[in-house]
Amino acid sequence: MTIVAVTACPTGIAHTYMAAEQLEKTGKKLGIPVRVETQGAMGIENELSPEEIRDAAAVVLAVGIPVRKRERFEGKKVYEISPQEAIKNPQAILLKIKNDLGS
Amino acid sequence: MALEFSFSFPLPLGLHARPAGLIQEKAEHFQAEILWENHRDGITADAKSVLSLVGSDTQYNDPCRIRIHGPAEKEALQALRSLVLDELPIKEAEAEKFILAAPKELPRILNLEHAVFFLGTPAGPGVARGRALIHDPVLEVDSEGPETECSPEKEKTAFLMAVQSLDTELRSRQEENRGKIERAVIQAHLSILRDRAFAAKVIEIITVERRSAFAAVALASRLFSEMLKASRSQYLRERMADIRDVSRQLIARISGVPAQETDIKLREPAILVDEDLPPSRFLSLDRNLLQGLILENAGVTSHTLIMCRARGIPAVTGCPGVLQKLQSGEDIILDGGRGLVIPAPSPAVGRYFEREMGAEKQRNALRREKAMLPGETADGREVEIAANISDPEELQAAWNNGAEAVGLFRTELLLMERQASPDEEEQYALYSRLAREGGNRPIIIRTFDIGGDKPVPFLPLPPENNPFLGFRGIRIYEQYPDLIRTQLRALVRAAAGGPLKIMFPMVSTLEEIRGMKELLQKIFEELAAGSVPYRANVEIGMMVEVPSATLLIDRFSENVDFFSVGSNDLLQYFLAADRGNPSVRHLNQPFHPAFLRLLKSVVDESHARGKWIGLCGEIAGSARMLPLLVGLGFDELSMNYSSIPEIKSNLRTLASAECRRLAETAVKLSLGREVEALLDSFRGIAVKEELITRQLIRLHSDSRSKAEALQELAIMMEAAARVDSRADIESALWQREDTFSTGIGFRVAIPHCQTSAVGSAAIAFLRFDAPMDWSSSDGKPVDMAVMLAIPASGHSRDHLKLLARLSRRLVHEEFREQLRTAGDEEAILHLIAAAIAE
């Protein structure tokens, strides 16, 4: 099971990257592969490929502003949280997804 | 026959009392009748009356005409023409440089603390805290005094005696006050007092309407005030205060009330609160005890507030009703830059503004320090930044602004308004003072540059049809040998006491310079024979302002030690376009590629002969022209001293090779506007800034709240010269906090912003002695803050990447612990450097 995520915040220089780091780091700890795309001041980085999105079990949007290219996630199971939550307690969201998927 | 000349009025603030005073003074020298016609509003004024001139409501660019009828018409015409078109614009540019920056945002501490405050108009930057001293205004001028049976003769005498007594007092006050602006204000009052239209009106009211002197002055004052009130210019309306002030003092004398009784006495430091404060009262205050000034409704450009700013006294105006809202003796804070008045501040508000005061002091010190840095490009090419002055009183201001030399000291002022030429001793005393107060900085003294366009009362120079192509500068010395001999004797004697240099104006032939060298030789022999000390190796230079001289630089180099380009005259002679003539003014432009080629050949030629060359015209102070002038290779730029801080700080960011390439490209262009476009697109900035420096790290912050912490970060950024104004970044940080708190949990806050206040990305670090609330997402207090700032545009991707890496590292517990326990600033620098390294 892999999870894909997008992080974004108003200024795009701090929360975006902290949230990304937390999700990746915690995923590793929990043994859940997490692929994160950042939408910050440098634009879209580590952009998710259509295949990655197709194969993902769930999508986490840790965003404080509207996500760019949101249509890519149509039909997917999307969990939307704030970047602060992703930074503060990344474990909670990843475990919730794991629980929801029953795996 | 009457003479006339037309022009468009050159002063942006309009014809107000100060320039009107200068015009009136000049006009008084001539017997002829001189009329000032404003063709926009159709008003014709008497040029010998300040009030009449001011009443013409002449605004910037108004089409005007001066008509002269009577004796010495030509001289009068020339004198007024050069005053209005050349001298006034320079004088006025110096007088008022204060720009009102409306505050973007008020300090948040005021909301957080629910502080009571009044918001007025910023009138003098700076923060003050002290006791309020409330002064109840008495509007003496609004009454007309007791109506009594009066004899016009007696009243007239009373009025004239009052005028005389006030005149005497103002003159003695003028002598007491050394400040240039103070003296100019007193001068403006004197010119109102001596104004013939005013006096005539008062006497007319006394004799025709048979009113008392008291009433006549009050009525005349009101009449002229009304006239100014109708003016379109805010500035002129504020001159009403000056008329009322002079009238008030006259009335005090007429009615026998000593003026001192109405004066305000300061016995201890205080912030004075008043409805309005007439300039004369401001001058009578002990300004060492005046901490600040709060006025209900004085104009920002009133003389009182101009003097306040000149003295660095914080001030706020436009605070209606403030007299009723404050109490004498109350503790108040005044923030003149923001227009804020805060009565009875809470301890937290007090702390915030005490810090602002400290930051303001630091900022001023930093400015002075920056001004004192050497004039050189970022890569170390020296360009001497010098001042043009004409009064020894200006020396100190020039040094304070960072002048490294005086590139042009004009001596003509010595001759103006005099009946005889100053003798050798008087001149020696003046030049010696310059040498002494120059403190080893070079001072270039230009010998008398007078002639048809700058008439001198005791030199009967013939009127000319075309004075600019006439008998002026070095050309008159042959006919007036004593004038130049006396000046040169005084100069070489004074040069024994300091590095004075001598420069000759308007040189067009080699014979002129050789003649001066021979004269100097004779003077040396005379002085040596009389055992009078002098400097024999005094450096001799010449102005390059006549086009013929530009093609003989090689020959002149054999006779002089240095050159200085007088770009104003050179430009108009070379392009054959008078900048005072509205029809051809557009042709008088320094961007003309032909003019740039001329400058390039002059600089190259003088360098090829091993001579240094400066430039002392108006373009020397132009920030836009600067890269070009540096690229052309000038060794010195001499300008109005108020331009020095800006020019020097710009110079220090330039890369000299880029400037050289710019100049090489510019001289190959065909059109002036192509040169302008090239200049506008020029980015020769060579300064690269580090993301974080020791100055941006503080391990023992005493901030007690988020408001104080953000203020502290802003102050650190200002002190490290990363932002021009701390208020800008402070408000940008707050705006980001407004979306949601940057307290990310883990006891860390990462305040950040994207703002045009910073020129390049920056990181700052604070560790707090006492943890504070930051509305963090985990509700816990914060014990350190890492600030990230990026510019609004033109930021480099490299910097952004580094900031992103730092942000990622901050969610790692061990990194945060390292930051918490690092022993010194150096350790923090290393930690952050390692975190952002690949």
Residue B768 domain-assigned?
Answer: yes
Give the range among B14-18, B262-266, B456-460 with minimum mean pLDDT.
B262-266
Residue B103 domain-assigned?
Answer: no
The partner residue sitting opposite B754, judged by closest CB among A11, A21, A42, is A11
Do B42 and B148 share a structural domain?
no
Do B565 and B502 share a structural domain?
yes
Residue numbers in A near B799 (CB within 8 A): none
Domain final residue, candidates B262, B277, B293: B262
A9 is catalytic: yes
> How confident is the model at residue B99, as a pLDDT?
39
Do B563 and B634 share a structural domain?
yes
- Averaged over B89-95, what is the pLDDT? 64
Do B516 and B529 share a structural domain?
yes
What tens digit of pLDDT does each residue of B97-130 get?
Answer: 443 444 557 898 988 888 888 888 888 889 999 9
Residue A34 domain-assigned?
Answer: yes
Name the interface residues of A facing B (CB cutoff 8 Å): 10-11, 13-18, 20-22, 25, 38, 40-42, 64, 82, 84-85, 87-88
C-alpha torsion B542→B547→B548→B550, nearest 10: 60
Do B675 and B704 share a structural domain?
no
> How confident is the model at residue B692, as a pLDDT?
92
Residue A103 domain-assigned?
Answer: no
Q: How many CB atoms lie within 10 A of CB B545?
A: 26
In the block, tokens 């910097």 appear at B799
Q: Do B800 and A87 touch (CB under 8 A)?
A: no
User: How many angstroms separate the CA atoms of B64 and B455, rounded?
Assistant: 23
For B516, the enclosing helix (H) or strand (E) is helix B510-529
> How confident is the model at residue B387, as a pLDDT?
95
The model's pTM is: 0.67
> How confident is the model at residue B101, as a pLDDT?
44
Portion of chain B with pLDDT greater than 70, in percent? 92
Q: Which of B718-727, B774-783, B798-807 has the highest mean pLDDT?
A: B774-783
The answer to whether B801 faces chain A, any CB pair under 8 Å, is yes
Q: B784 with B820: CB under 8 angstroms?
A: yes
Residue B473 domain-assigned?
Answer: yes
Residue B736 domain-assigned?
Answer: yes
Give the range among A49-58, B635-644, B785-794 with minimum mean pLDDT.
B785-794
Q: How many CB atoms lie within 10 A of CB B662?
A: 22
Residue A96 domain-assigned?
Answer: no
Which of B744, B750, B758, B815 best probes binding to A when mutated, by most A CB atoms within 10 angstroms? Answer: B744
Task: Please give the structure tokens belonging to residue B411.
Answer: 């001596």
The dihedral of CA B643, B545, B466, B414: what is its sign? positive
Do B357 and B419 share a structural domain?
no
Residue B143 has pLDDT above 70, yes or no: no
Residue A33 domain-assigned?
Answer: yes
Residue numbers in A near B774 (CB within 8 A): none
More confident residue, B147 or B590: B590
In whole angstroms, what separates CA B86 from the centre of its chain? Answer: 18
Residue B323 pLDDT grade (very low, low, confident, very high; cuts 50, 70, 90): confident
* Max CA distance (Å), chain A: 37
Do B217 and B120 share a structural domain?
no
CATH number, domain of B227, equals 1.10.274.10
CATH number, domain of B538, equals 3.20.20.60
Domain containing A52 equals 6-83
Residue B564 domain-assigned?
Answer: yes
Q: Which residue of A has its CA nearest to B748?
A: A88
> How confident is the model at residue B318, as a pLDDT?
87
Residue A95 domain-assigned?
Answer: no
Q: How many CA atoms lie within 13 A of B817 on its CB side?
A: 3
User: How many angstroms separate the CA atoms of B446 and B389, rounded?
Assistant: 11
Count of domains observed in chain A: 1
> How confident is the model at residue B140, as a pLDDT?
44
- Averaged over A28-54, what is the pLDDT? 94
Portion of chain B with pLDDT greater than 90, in percent? 49
Residue A59 domain-assigned?
Answer: yes
Do B560 and B492 share a structural domain?
yes
Q: How many CA atoms lie within 13 A of B579 on its CB side?
A: 19
The partner residue sitting opposite A88, judged by closest CB among B777, B797, B812, is B777
Residue B25 pLDDT grade (very low, low, confident, very high; cuts 50, 70, 90): confident
User: How many angstroms separate the CA atoms of B764 and B695, rounded?
Assistant: 9
Count of domains observed in chain B: 5
> How confident is the model at residue B782, as a pLDDT?
96
Domain containing B41 equals 2-95
- Averaged over A52-71, what is the pLDDT? 94
State the Cα angle at A39 between A33 and A41, rounded to 5°: 135
Residue B138 has pLDDT above 50, yes or no: no
Residue B101 domain-assigned?
Answer: no
Residue A20 domain-assigned?
Answer: yes
The partner residue sitting opposite B811, judged by closest CB among A22, A38, A82, is A22
Residue B173 domain-assigned?
Answer: yes
Do B296 and B178 share a structural domain?
no
Residue numbers in A near B807 (CB within 8 A): 13-18, 21
The partner residue sitting opposite A14, judged by closest CB among B750, B777, B797, is B750
Do B274 and B258 share a structural domain?
no
Nearest by Cα to B242 from B205, B292, B283, B203: B283
The answer to whether B750 faces chain A, any CB pair under 8 Å, is yes
**How close does chain A come to B776, measured CA to CA in Å?**
9
What tens digit of pLDDT does each residue of B607-626 get?
Answer: 999 999 999 988 999 888 99
**How close does chain A come to B192, measured CA to CA in Å?**
58
Q: B568 with B531: CB under 8 angstroms?
A: no
CATH number, domain of B47, equals 3.30.1340.10
In whole angstroms, what separates CA B456 from the centre of its chain? Answer: 28
Residue B689 domain-assigned?
Answer: no
Residue A71 pLDDT grade (very low, low, confident, very high; cuts 50, 70, 90): very high
For B46, the enclosing helix (H) or strand (E) is strand B43-46
- Averaged over B66-83, what is the pLDDT? 89
> How confident is the model at residue B794, as a pLDDT?
62
Radius of gyration from C-alpha coordinates of chain B: 31
Do B278 and B253 share a structural domain?
no
CATH number, domain of A32, equals 3.40.50.2300
Domain final residue, candidates B330, B346, B370: B370
Do B319 and B289 share a structural domain?
yes
CATH number, domain of B317, equals 3.50.30.10
Residue A55 domain-assigned?
Answer: yes
